[in-house]
Amino acid sequence: MKVVFSGGGTGGHIYPALATIDEWLKRDTTLEVRYIGGERGLEKEIVPAAGIKFDAVAIQGFVRALSLQNVKTVYLFLKAVKRAKRQLRTFQPDVVVGTGGYVSGPVLYAAQLLGIPTVIHEQNSVVGVSNRFLARHATKIGVAFPAARSQFKQATVVGNPRAQQVVAGQKDNRFDFDTFGLKNDQPTVLIFGGSQGAPKINQAVVEALSQFNNQNYQILFATGKSRFDEVQAMIKQRQMTVAKNIAIVPYISNMQELMPRVELVIGRAGATSMAEQTALGKPMILIPSPYVTNDHQTKNARSMADAGAAAMIIESELDGAVLFKTVHQLMSDVAKRQEMAQHAAQLGVRDAADEFIALIQSAVKK
């Protein structure tokens, strides 16, 4: 079978595609894959590094206001459709799969014009612009969370393929907290705001440090690569002491190995992170970013909170006192954490890549 994947702009659109490809190639070595992404997106670096053949189109997203930039966007879209048509005619795929981001728009639209089956995957609880546009003529639609299903005429809940990789990381997991100067036999709270960090979350953690010191649980706090020095400066300015039960690091590269070993996860409400945590059945405290398109993180977090899988803190209400109180209440209540974990696990799809591959295969004309 020949398959083209398209999606990009952020890791949340790229990694589900890569996880699907990785799992599919394990079971079918004859599978031929191409990836069509943007010339300037993260996918341009990430996809070739994964050993997948990559083609690019020039495209940009619409500005959400009256702007001459949108005239250029329409021009680039039509040009990208034309280029994608040539690429698809050359490769002749059996199906084209889109995992979101504006680059998937012209690629899957080109496939639809050529009569090639198309499958889209929506990672968030609220449907993105590209997927909403493509859904009208998509052959099959997969969603990560049940909350998104009602926004399509017909969709299948398949989960997020990235989660299956994290679940696989549970097997023979010997992650050593000593790497961070922490203990392996103490309950651990993981706090992170993404690879670049989240200033408001970082500030709240610093404000709460004196209360977190010497608790009967430990804190692993990832500040974000570019914000580590800033956090250290705040701690120094406040003349604060960091106890041995707290580790502060810029970034955690082996998150897949770490995640199964923690008792509570605190962070943003991005689709990929939530898929990983629900697949593992982790209780969460979600602090959605208010700076994303359509405020979709708030809707993601709300769907988790409504299901009893997470506590939610609005960023405008976040400070050290609120953060400590929420964390400490959960870390002092094992039964509550277990209840949240059960609800999270009910929302997670552990074999999401398998489910999505089956959906893609069902879209191919026999």
289 labeled binding residue: no
Give CA–CA dist 121/355, Å, rounded: 12
- Return the structure tokens found at 63: 């500005």
φ and ψ at 8, to 5 degrees? 175, -165
Q: 189 Cβ partners below 8 Å, 6+ apart?
A: 217, 218, 219, 220, 262, 263, 264, 265, 266, 327, 331
Residues 7/101, Cβ–Cβ less than 8 Å = yes
101 labeled binding residue: no
159 labeled binding residue: no
266 labeled binding residue: no
297 labeled binding residue: yes
Half-sphere exposure of 241 (CA within 13 A, CB side): 6
Q: What is the DSSP letter of 63?
A: P
124 labeled binding residue: yes
| DSSP labels, 102-122 | TTHHHHHHHHHHTT--EEEEE
12 labeled binding residue: yes
Per the annotation, binding residues are: 10-12, 124, 195, 252, 297
- Binding site listing for UDP-N-acetyl-alpha-D-glucosamine: 10-12, 124, 195, 252, 297
